[in-house]
Structures are given as C-alpha cells and as structure tokens.
Structure 1
Amino acid sequence: MERTFVYLKPNAVRRGLVGEIIKRFEQRGIKIVALKLLWMSKQQAEKLYEMHKGKSFYNDLIDFVTGGPIVAMIVEAPRVIEMVRHIIGDTDPLKAGTGTIRGEFALTITKNLIHASDSKENFEREYKIFFSDDEIIDYYLDVQDDI
C-alpha cells in the first residue's frame, strides 16, 4: 500500500466542501489513516512551499493557506499518489477535467481547494510538517479485499 499527504485549503473548508471531497476519496476505496482540522502556521506554510520561495505568487499563497482552517490528512491505497492526483485534477482549474475536484469547484490556481503530494519523496517531506508517526492509524478497511 502507498500513502500520500492531502490537505484541503481554507476555501474548501469555508465553502463546506470537506465532506464532498472526502466522500470522493472514500468512494474510490482510499483509506484515511490520519485526519485533523487545524490552522496552518506561517512556519508550516513556508516549509511546505519552500520550493516556491521567491516566485511572484509565493506571498499570496502563504497568506491564503494560513488565512483559515485546513483539513490535513494522510490517505492510503494502491497507487494512491497517482489516483489522488487524478481525482483532484490539474493545478489550474481551467485545465482540470470535468468531474475532478478542481474542475468542479475551484476558480483559480492559488485558491484551487486542495493540495496533494506529487511523489513518494514529497509525501515523506510534507506529512511530517503536520503529523507525527504516532498519529497515523493502521486499520482494516472492509473494501481492501476489493481493491
């Protein structure tokens, strides 16, 4: 099984889309192994987006993601990194496919509702910003035999 880090940005929380987004993951057989509602600190945001420091959108992005509560989670399934990225759609909502989270609900690249790790290496780096290993719960999901 593979794991990935996902967080729902403040506009997803404010717009009441948390349940809808989680439902889309669960309906695909993706197991949530860690979940929390929190207010991302500036330090966490800067660490998460350190690769974008110096880019024109960096300050607006940091202000946005620290401007309200987020929902952070770790999810698990076979090929989950690829699957989650498919479910959420392209970073640019105008390029995101119909039926994807961003294609259905997002309006701009910065305020695109959701972030997901794009590689195993980034998962390893990103989840540690928000979770300790003892917060990850391993359990049997009834649909595991069907995936």
Structure 2
Amino acid sequence: MQRTLILLKPDCVQRRLMGEVISRFEAKGLNFVAMKLMRVTPELAKKHYAEHVEKEWYPTLELFITGAPVLAAVVEGLDVISVVRSMLGATSGLKAEPGTIRGDFSSSRQMNLVHGSDGPEAAEREIHLYFSQEELLDFEPTITPWVRASDEA
C-alpha cells in the first residue's frame, strides 16, 4: 500500500470543485487517510516548492498557492502515486487529455487545480510538511474487498 499527498489548490477551492475531485478519487477506490482545509503560508510554500524558489516565476506561484485556502489530503492505494498522476493529467490543463481532472476542468499551466506528489520520496517529504503522524489514520474501508482482490497489496 502506498500513500501520496494531494493538494486541491486555491483555484479548485474557489471554483467549488472540491467535491467533484474528491469523488473521482473515491470512485477509483482510493482511501483518504487525512484531510484538512488550510492556508499555505509563504514559509510552507518555500519548503514545498524548494526546488523552484530561485526561478523567476516562483513569486507568482507563491502568490497563487498562498492566495486562498487549499484542501490538503493524504490518499492511500495500490500504486497510488502513479494512479493519482494519471488521473490528474498533464501539468498544463491545455495539454491534459479529456477525462483527466485537469483535462476536464483546467485551461492553465499554473492554475491546474490539484497537486500530486511525483514520486515516493516526494510523497514522504510532502506528507510530513502538511500532516503530523498523529493526523494520519490507519483504517481499511469495508468496501475494500469490492475494489481489489484479497491477494493484491
């Protein structure tokens, strides 16, 4: 079982698309193990986007991500990092395939609705930027036997 961080970004929250996005992940059989509505501070933004802080476009990114609340969540499932990234689609909503979250709802590179960790190391680091260990809940939904075979783990 694998975990990843997802952020429903300010554009997703402001456009009232949170329920739509959450329902897509739930319909896929992914399990939410942590969730909270919060503001990203400039300090947290600099930690999260550390590899981009020196880029000329970073100030615009920071203004965007700190400009309104985000919904931070941890999602669990089989190969969840690649599954979530496939569901999100290409980074630019203009290039994302129809049927993906960004392909259906975004027409921007930066305002692309949802962040998903890009690998296991990033997921581990990002989860702990947004959640304490105590906030991560271990449980198995009663529906699990109906979304994957018992020998899949």
* TM tier relative to shorter chain: over 0.9
Corresponding residue for 2:118? 118
- Give me the whole-angstrom Cα distance separating, in 2, the residues matched to 1:141 and 1:87: 21
Corresponding residue for 2:66? 66
Corresponding residue for 1:140? 140
Q: Are 2:38 and 1:42 equivalent residues in the alignment?
A: no
Corresponding residue for 1:19? 19
Question: How far does residue 142 in structure 1 lie from its aligned partner after superposition?
Answer: 2.4
Deviation string, structure 1 residues 37-70 (Cα, Å, up to 9, x no partner): 0011111111000101221221100110000000
User: Which shows bigger deviation, 135-144 or 77-86?
Assistant: 135-144
Corresponding residue for 1:93? 93
- Give me the whole-angstrom Cα distance separating, in 2, the residues matched to 1:136 and 1:52: 28
What percent identity do the matched residue pairs reach? 42
Question: How far does residue 140 in structure 1 lie from its aligned partner after superposition?
Answer: 1.4
- Give me the whole-angstrom Cα distance separating, in 2, the residues matched to 1:94 and 1:15: 18
- Give me the whole-angstrom Cα distance separating, in 2, the residues matched to 1:46 and 1:143: 38
| SS at structure 2 position matched to 1:109 | coil
For normalisation by structure 2, the TM-score amounts to 0.93
- Give me the whole-angstrom Cα distance separating, in 2, the residues matched to 1:127 and 1:140: 19
- Give me the whole-angstrom Cα distance separating, in 2, the residues matched to 1:39 and 1:107: 24
Deviation string, structure 1 residues 24-48 (Cα, Å, up to 9, x no partner): 0000000000000001111111100
Q: Structure 1 unaligned segments of length 5 or more: list them.
A: none
Question: How far does residue 75 in structure 1 lie from its aligned partner after superposition?
Answer: 0.2
Aligned residues: CA RMSD: 0.8
Q: Structure 2 unaligned segments of length 5 or more: list them.
A: 149-153
Q: Are 2:96 and 1:105 equivalent residues in the alignment?
A: no
Letter of the structure 1 residue corresponding to residue 30 of structure 2: I
- Give me the whole-angstrom Cα distance separating, in 2, the residues matched to 1:32 and 1:85: 16
Larger Rg: 1 or 2? 2
For normalisation by structure 1, the TM-score amounts to 0.97
- Give me the whole-angstrom Cα distance separating, in 2, the residues matched to 1:108 and 1:43: 25
Question: How far does residue 139 in structure 1 lie from its aligned partner after superposition?
Answer: 1.1
| SS at structure 2 position matched to 1:99 | coil
